[in-house]
Structure 1
Amino acid sequence: MKKLIFLIVLLAFSIGNSQILDPVTWTTSVEKLSETEYVLVSKASIEKGWHLYSQTVPEDGPIPTTFVYDDSEGTFKITGNTSEEAGHTVDDPVFEMKIKFFENTATFKQKIKVEKGVTSITGFVEFMVCDDTRCLPPKEVDLVFNISEDKTASNTIGVSIDSATKPKSKNSNKGLWSIFFIAFLSGFAALLTPCVFPMIPMTVSFFTKQSKSKAAGIKNAIIYGISIIVIYVLLGTAVTGVFGADALNALATNVWFNIIFFLLLVIFAVSFLGAFEIMLPNSWANRVDSQANQGGLIGIFFMALALAIVSFSCTGPIVGTLLVEAASKGGLAPIIGMLGFSLAIALPFGLFAAFPGWLNSLPKSGGWLNTVKVVLGFLELALAFKFLSQADLVLQAHLLEREVFLAIWIAIFGALAFYLFGKIQLPHDSPLTHISVGRLSLGLVVLSFTIYMIPGLWGAPLNLISAFPPPLEYSESPYGVGYSKLGTPLDLDSHEGLPQGAHLLAPHDILAFNDYDKGLAYAKEVGKPVMIDFTGWACVNCRKMEQNVWPKPKILNILKNEVVLISLYVDDKRPLEDHEVTDSKLKPGKKLKYIGQKWSELQTLKYKANSQPFYVLMGHDEQNLLEPVAYTPDADEYYAWLKEGVSKFK
């Protein structure tokens, strides 16, 4: 019964979705074993990002891949079962069970015995494919196996209908590049800490002196740098393997996850500021050092591992922050992040080994290295409050509203500016008789940034940091200090003169609903199309859209006058009314108890997507006017999408 419900939902999706997706192409061939024995080979070519399920899945899971061979005429006999490759077995987050699936390609083989004169065998395969955000309805594809004396040429079946309709991964690629760039900058920052920087001349000098020739010294230093990259990439791979490609992504809106990470970042920050040092056990370093004395490639690798362990007190907090940030985005992000981080650390060793004369131009170790460490500590402390803010937003506790958050950041960056100007001394700081031009310049930049944030206390949008503070409407004064029109968006009953269940979304004054049924009813009443905004309180990209894209005059005009906006928060932890509590269709046996769970399941079931923001334009029949879109920072592109949808409705 549960599987039947799931199939009905998938069928409804396929009818209502105008995009033609056909991510699996089947080819058949035949392997000859003897005059009467053959192997029927069915190979699935699967587009990147999609996966095909195994022939065996647990009960109440997805539709398994099933092969049927037409032996009704009795001209051949099936020997054994259809075999398949090893595939991947993972904990599926949607079905909450271990499921085996295939990516890229999958080959299935069936052994048969035939009678003389048989030239072909027919059959079909029934299968279902999913990606990380949606599943397609089950599909049947006919199979034809040509029997001949030799191996037959492969027969291609089920070619994609229209390549122009294939989903693009542009945003995914952009996300990975941004992770790489941020990780590279973080690695460069770690390079300038007291634990790592002094190692550059020491290590390069060691390789050049111990090597028989300059070429050998360069080669060893390059191998040393590559070993550093391998160690950190293996760390990123381990995180991806242990937690799964998207497991931490599901934790991004989890209250306890955000609180725990807030506490971790505070500990990291206090460590960087000089209160104590976070170090791995000395026994680890001693064991690794003993292995490094072996010489050769193994010895060089263990020297790199020793660097990673010894420098942990400086690199550990940065690596930990990067890994959680990257893993929360899912997929290959942790691996890409560690590649960028380690590349920044490894590059100097290879470059200075190739050009040892450059070592003379390196600044001498000194108090400036501790200054770098302290600056990183202030940045870690500021970042910590981003995670505490997300927990507060999800709980809707209103303990860390926009003004409070900005006040904390102004205090942190203000203190950093005073530190850079030499007005504050911390442990491990060297006596400061004067400040350098570089330190003065950085202090001026930080002071300017601090002053820039101050107007945010009175309602300024602060577009430069829109992804970090709570949204404008989540504040004591959504319209600015000293002026409040209609209160916060959740005070629905206080909005006199507005439709039932509506509120004005500050500060743009967009009429919005937080209830699907009430918003749809109002849209029918006024004769306007509906724009569903699947959003989240802890959704960074949602805030960027609302504060950077929506205020554009031509876009704001459509949102205020030509559509009815329904904002559905998928991480809203407020409980549903008793009569609204229902059984989950995605997770049999579980109840939907919170408002956010209700909207999250609606998005997953109806639109086969689970990321935010996600925008849908639909008519009064609840059918899409055009393909939904996700995060679209290009205002012109977003406007064109809105305009096309409104035109189709009219």
Structure 2
Amino acid sequence: MALVACLAVALPAHAVNQDDLLPAEKAFAAQVSRSGDKLQLTLDVAPGYYLYRDRIAISTTPADLAGKPVLPAAQEKADPYFGKQFIYHGKQSIVIPLAAGAPADFQLNVRLQGCAEAGVCYPPYTHKLKVSAAGGKTESKLDNWLGGAATAGKSPAGNSELAAKGWLTTLGTFLLAGLGMAFTACMYPLLPIVSSLIAGQGATLTRGRGFLLSLLYVQGLALTYTAVGVVAGLTGSLLTVWLQQPAVVLTASALMVVFALSMFDLFTIQLPNALQSRLAESSNQLSGGKALTVFLMGAMSALIVGPCVAPPLALALGYIGSTGDALLGGAALYAMALGLGLPLILIGTFGGHVLPRAGNWMKVVKSGFGVVMLGLAIWMATPFLPASLVMLLWAALLIGAAVFLGAFDTLSTASKPGARLGKALGLLLFLLGGAQLVGLLSGADNPRYPLKLIAASSAEGAASHPFQPISSIAELDAKLAEAKSAGKPLLLDFYADWCVACKEMESEVFPQPLVAAKMGQFVLLRADVTANSDAHQALLKRFGLFGPPGIILFGADGKEAQRVVGFTPAAAFASQLGQVAH
């Protein structure tokens, strides 16, 4: 799930050219076909755009002809302002059951809302699709305020964000994760098995033969995990929907904590003794040196190390399940098992002396996995916990990790570099944890910006320049005339409560001292288009905007001078303000 978080959609740090944006009917194209008592609605989201799953509403004219739609699994998106969201990319198919006795012809209303990844959010938009008994596909009627001809969206980018990142990157990540697990105590039970199987060759053993046998052993281990990955991928939609429930997420977070504590050796997760003995007996009955024997023993060994690697394996399966891709699931688990088995191949080929000796460093690696898993548990539970509790949990984790790294231990002049590096890292984590506590006590509610309120106190200039609200073209024209008479430039900000980039501009750009100083030279107007009324649509249409954020800058002569669409960093925005205000 951490990997899912890393693939979450992020807003860019530059303004957008309005001409590059698609109208809503093209960005979020829709078609419907009828088959008996069911409809199949196809949403085709253009590349570079996404839809919010929870803002899709389906109705009919006449009313009450459609049942509850069956929505496909969605990708998780961690949003700093709205919490956990679920979004769609590419082409999506939604099955809609029809009520008994539904007429041959009626209208399907599909209300949806989405954003461009460039940082512009669209107002809610309704497709009105004609459904006929013929069962053919019917495209959206164009009753949108922009007008224009309906066309299908661009070819979908695909539903898997993994595909956008590339298989090489993903499989490499799983390979490294498996290699990291190899350098823990999980590897201990496999070392004597590999040694005994390869030792069956006796004096005839060569490095080439040792490599082949150890590779076969690892293939048996890897293919067992591959099968598990394929199953996780095939059941991906079911897993994803089920895992989105609050009770399930919080339970999974609690289990992640239990798994993490086991990585600190507070207790041991292992197979029952009777089963371990039976597996050991089966191992002893297999003669070494034979290819099929070695391969089968590798497959059986997956059961031996399974409980030990259960925590990171559960994490990997959660990620694979979220993709719903069986081919990816098998390949990813295969790569992870190869990483886990790489040291075994080295031992089988060159002997045990090629690997580092066991020691405390293996416990450090294992503890590192534990810390990461505790962090993941907090991250998973964040949308369902109070913000103050989330900040407190992060503070506890960071400060606890700092203590275990020796942040407050006394070092002597003879201390090794590793100890000094550990203390430096521990002090850094302590400062980060302390920032969470300070932010919590100051009233902050976002762990990403714990000191935001404190920093904002030094940038109060923006607060002295409040926006004047407007809601119609007539009000805008009146304010423009007043500003022109006073010889002052005017700034019109299009805003909405559902606009992520709007909130980023308001919290990260407007309060900056340089920006606030230049904004003080403008008459500041704000058109809050949250309700998306007819008057709001008319305002947006006047400037050819599809949705907020959009900032129109007027010169002292009352004419439009510049416009800023999408999130814009403070330095660039201040420069544009300066060009208009002079």
Matched, 1:255 2:254: no
Measured against aligned partners, the alpha-carbon deviations of 1:244-298 in whole angstroms (never above 9, x if no partner) come to 27x526745x432331122112111221222211123345545555665556555
Matched, 1:388 2:366: no
How far, CA to CA, are the matches of 1:482 and 1:552 in structure 2?
9
Matched, 1:408 2:382: no
Q: Counterpart of 2:71 in structure 1: which amino acid?
A: P
Structure 2, gaps ≥5 residues long: 1-21, 43-68, 75-90, 93-113, 116-125, 130-135, 140-150, 480-490, 550-564, 577-582
Counterpart in the other structure of 1:305: 299
Query: Following TM superposition, by how much is the alpha carbon of 1:345 offset from its aligned partner in structure 2, in angstroms?
Result: 0.8
Matched, 1:345 2:340: yes
Q: Counterpart of 1:407 in structure 2: which amino acid?
A: A
Q: Paired residue for 1:417, among 388, 405, 411? A: 405
Counterpart in the other structure of 1:222: 215
* SS of match in other structure, 1:278: coil
How far, CA to CA, are the matches of 1:436 and 1:530 in structure 2?
58
Residues 286, 351 of structure 1: alpha-carbon distance in 2 compared, 3 angstrom cutoff: same
Q: Paired residue for 1:470, among 438, 447, 450? A: 447
Matched, 1:244 2:263: no
Matched, 1:266 2:248: no
Residues 311, 329 of structure 1: alpha-carbon distance in 2 compared, 3 angstrom cutoff: same
Measured against aligned partners, the alpha-carbon deviations of 1:183-224 in whole angstroms (never above 9, x if no partner) come to 333322211111215634762564254375423332221122
Q: Which has the larger helix fraction?
A: 2
Counterpart in the other structure of 2:82: none
Measured against aligned partners, the alpha-carbon deviations of 1:105-125 in whole angstroms (never above 9, x if no partner) come to xxxxxxxxxxxxxxxxxxxxx
Counterpart in the other structure of 1:27: none
Normalised TM-score (structure 2): 0.53
Residues 176, 525 of structure 1: alpha-carbon distance in 2 compared, 3 angstrom cutoff: farther
Counterpart in the other structure of 2:426: 446
Query: Following TM superposition, by how much is the alpha carbon of 1:481 offset from its aligned partner in structure 2, in angstroms?
Result: 8.4
Judge conservation of contact 2:34–2:40 (CA < 8 Å) in 1. no
After TM superposition, list the pairs within 5 Å mapping 1:79-228 onto structure 2.
92-93=70-71, 139=137, 165-168=154-157, 172=162, 173-174=164-165, 179-197=170-188, 199-200=190-191, 203=194, 206-207=197-198, 209-210=200-201, 212-214=204-206, 215-228=208-221
Judge conservation of contact 1:204–1:221 (CA < 8 Å) in 2. no
Q: Counterpart of 2:405 in structure 1: which amino acid?
A: A
Coordinate RMSD, CA, aligned: 6.2
Q: Counterpart of 1:391 in structure 2: which amino acid?
A: F
Judge conservation of contact 1:184–1:342 (CA < 8 Å) in 2. yes
Normalised TM-score (structure 1): 0.48
Q: Paired residue for 2:272, among 268, 281, 306? A: 281
Residues 15, 387 of structure 1: alpha-carbon distance in 2 compared, 3 angstrom cutoff: closer
Q: How many residues align?
A: 422
Q: Counterpart of 1:316 in structure 2: which amino acid?
A: A
How far, CA to CA, are the matches of 1:524 and 1:228 in structure 2?
73
Judge conservation of contact 1:17–1:627 (CA < 8 Å) in 2. no
* SS of match in other structure, 1:327: helix
Q: Counterpart of 2:453 in structure 1: which amino acid?
A: Y
Judge conservation of contact 2:174–2:332 (CA < 8 Å) in 1. yes
Q: Paired residue for 1:620, among 540, 557, 567? A: 540
Matched, 1:376 2:402: no
How far, CA to CA, are the matches of 1:184 and 1:546 in structure 2?
42
Counterpart in the other structure of 1:593: none
How far, CA to CA, are the matches of 1:363 and 1:209 in structure 2?
25
How far, CA to CA, are the matches of 2:229 and 2:334 in structure 1?
8
Matched, 1:479 2:453: yes
Higher relative contact order (CA 8 A, sep 6+): 2
How far, CA to CA, are the matches of 1:335 and 1:444 in structure 2?
40
How far, CA to CA, are the matches of 1:453 and 1:520 in structure 2?
49
Measured against aligned partners, the alpha-carbon deviations of 1:21-76 in whole angstroms (never above 9, x if no partner) come to 79xxxxxxxxxxxxxxxxxxxxxxxxxxxxx999856535548xxxxxxxxxxxxx
Q: Counterpart of 2:404 in structure 1: which amino acid?
A: L
Residues 240, 400 of structure 1: alpha-carbon distance in 2 compared, 3 angstrom cutoff: same
